[in-house]
Amino acid sequence: MKTDMQVVAIVGAGAIGCSWAALALAHGMAVHLADPNDSALDRARGTISAHLADLDAPADAGSGLTVHHEATAAAGMADLVIESGPERLDFKRELFAALDAAAAPDVVLASSSSGFGPSSFQDACMHPERVLVAHPFNPPHLIPLVEIVGGRSTSAETIDTAMTAMRTLGRRPIRVNAELPGHVVNRLQAALWREAYDLVGRGAISVADLDLAVANGPGLRWALLGPIATQHLSGGPGGMAHVLEHLGPPMVEWWNDLREPELDPELTAQLVSGVREELGGADDAVRARRDEALRELLALKSRVGLDGAGGDDA
């Protein structure tokens, strides 16, 4: 697989694609951004410029951007292709077949898919061994985590090349060793959302107070260490063994009490109205403050040596 990543093709000029593009540009790479929609490409330039400012990129970083209407034109010039199109399997199968025909055979084809495993679309390609999922977290130019997922036909060399490419982009890639709907971290999020929705739905807590509880309690610790390392540290000298011995049985009782809420119109309306009331229509301002805090938190984690805590991605 090609390891000299100087040119990146980004397919899809939506939120994820623009974020990927800014990240690559900030790392001095040339970016070929493809989208068939003129208005999407027009909006992309402003979005990418704002992201480059977030990253304190050089003033001329945006000059490395070239836009295309055809995904194949972008892929034909790339050392790495990242697809960030709609989450529809029929679309991805057709697109990856076209990308596979256009890109050089030693170029990794990565999908940003948040739920599909690569086995579901790589068989549409003549070179399925170079197809995988590189699932980022929104916004990818700030959040360092990327899940690398191989399919039945993905080669070990492709996995290694993708891991290296993500590190070159300043990301923290993790290898997911099984194809699961939603990969790993989306499943963890879904588990928390399921219980959160149920607690709101049964009237145990308001949307605002639930968010307040997570953001000012466990979320603070989880931002520094993962949930298992955090649990271990809470056990004092006995660590995880002590925690599981003393809190394991009641935790199992809590598991058994968890319910499966139905996402019906009533609960949906309750969640939508609750978060609207919580944010008071200031979504953009809250997002901007969040992103500013993310940058400062990432810098702090790096400064105190917690940016790689909890494991080694090598």
- Tell me the DSSP string of 151-171: -TT--HHHHHHHHHHHHHTT-
Over residues 89-121, the pLDDT tens digits come to: 999 999 999 999 999 999 999 999 999 999 999
Q: Of 152, 176, 200, which marks where a domain is finished?
A: 176
Task: Summarize pLDDT for 51-81 with one digit per residue, the tens.
Answer: 999 999 999 999 999 999 999 999 999 999 9
Q: Coil, strand or helix: which one is 111?
A: strand
CB neighbour class for 8 (10 Å; exposed up to 12, middle 13-18, buried from 19): buried
Are both 231 and 294 inside the same structural domain? yes
Q: Is the pLDDT of residue 222 over 50?
A: yes
Is the residue at 264 inside a domain? yes
Domain check: are 169 and 192 in the same one? no
Is 273 within a domain?
yes
- Asked whether residue 191 falls in the same domain as residue 117, the answer is no
Closest to 99 (Cα-Cα) out of 119, 64, 70: 70
The answer to whether residues 120 and 60 belong to one domain is: yes
What is the domain range of residue 107?
A: 7-176
Which pLDDT band, with edges at 50, 70 and 90, does 3 fall under? confident
Q: How far apart (Å, rounded) are the C-alpha atoms in residues 14 and 114?
A: 14
Pick the catalytic residue: 87, 94, 129, 147? 147
The answer to whether the beta carbons of residues 224 and 303 sit under 8 Å apart is: no
DSSP state letter for 236: G
Q: Are residues 153 and 204 in the same domain?
A: no
State whether 152 and 15 are in the same domain. yes
Q: Residue 307's pLDDT is what?
A: 85
Does 220 lie in the same domain as 93? no
Cα–Cα dist 200/274, whole Å:
9
pLDDT tens column, 110-165: 999 999 999 999 999 999 999 999 999 999 999 999 999 999 999 999 999 999 99
Same domain, 159 and 129: yes
Q: Which residue has the tokens 């809470």?
A: 234
The residue among 288, 277, 282 whose CA lies nearest residue 208 is 277
Residues 140 and 223 in one domain: no
* Strand pairing class (7-11; 65-68): unpaired
Q: Is the dihedral of CA 170, 182, 3, 44 positive or negative?
A: negative
Map residue 12 onto helix, strand or coil.
coil
Nearest to 177 by CA among 163, 191, 194: 163
Q: Does any domain span residue 308?
A: no
- Looking at 125, 142, 176, the residue that finishes a domain is 176
> In what order do the strands lie in the sheet containing 131-136?
65-68, 30-34, 7-11, 80-83, 108-111, 131-136, 145-150, 172-176
Q: Known catalytic residue: 147?
A: yes
**What is the domain-level CATH number for residue 226?**
1.10.1040.10
Phi, psi of 77 (to 5 degrees): -105, 0
**pLDDT tops 50 at residue 312:** no
Shared domain check, 16 and 138: yes
Any domain includes 310: no
Q: 0.85 cut: is pTM over it? A: yes
DSSP strand pairing (145-150 vs 131-136): antiparallel
Quick check: 145 and 174 in contact, CB under 8 A? yes
- Indicate whether 309 belongs to any domain: no
Give the per-residue pLDDT at 137: 95
**Whether residues 129 and 189 fall in one domain:** no
- CA separation for the pair 192, 249 (Å, rounded): 20
pLDDT at 309: 55
Structure letter (DSSP) for residue 261: -
Cβ-based neighbours of 199, under 8 Å, separated by 6 or more? 205, 210
Map tokens 């271990």 to a residue: 232
Q: What percent of the chain has pLDDT over 90?
A: 96
